[in-house]
Amino acid sequence: MTLPVWELDVVVMPKPGVNDPEGEAIRGGLQALGYDGVERVRAGRSIRLRFAAASAEAAEGLAREMADRLLANPVIEVFEVASVE
């Protein structure tokens, strides 16, 4: 029996209060281009995973496990997992 294949996005962002120099550089660049209303930018990353799992719940659990173990640094980052439609 072949397991179904699932696609999930893991979005990793700096925790609130953690220094985000990339976000600050983006904000500065946007303001230099005339976008003065931009007050804050937080830069993160999106990781799309495609893998086999028995169910949607199992796939989400595996994606969370992957994020906990490798994709995100729990000391300074938070993550969200969402299925790709």
- pLDDT tens-digit map of 48-76: 999 999 999 999 999 999 999 999 999 99
- Residue 35: its pLDDT value, please? 98
The three-class DSSP label of residue 69 is helix
- Residue 1: its pLDDT value, please? 79
Percent of the chain surpassing pLDDT 70: 100
> Which residue matches tokens 């995100």?
72
DSSP annotation of 66 reads H
The yes-or-no verdict on residue 85 having pLDDT over 90 is no
* Cβ–Cβ < 8 Å for 72, 11: no
For residue 77, the one-letter residue type is E
Half-sphere exposure of 40 (CA within 13 A, CB side): 6
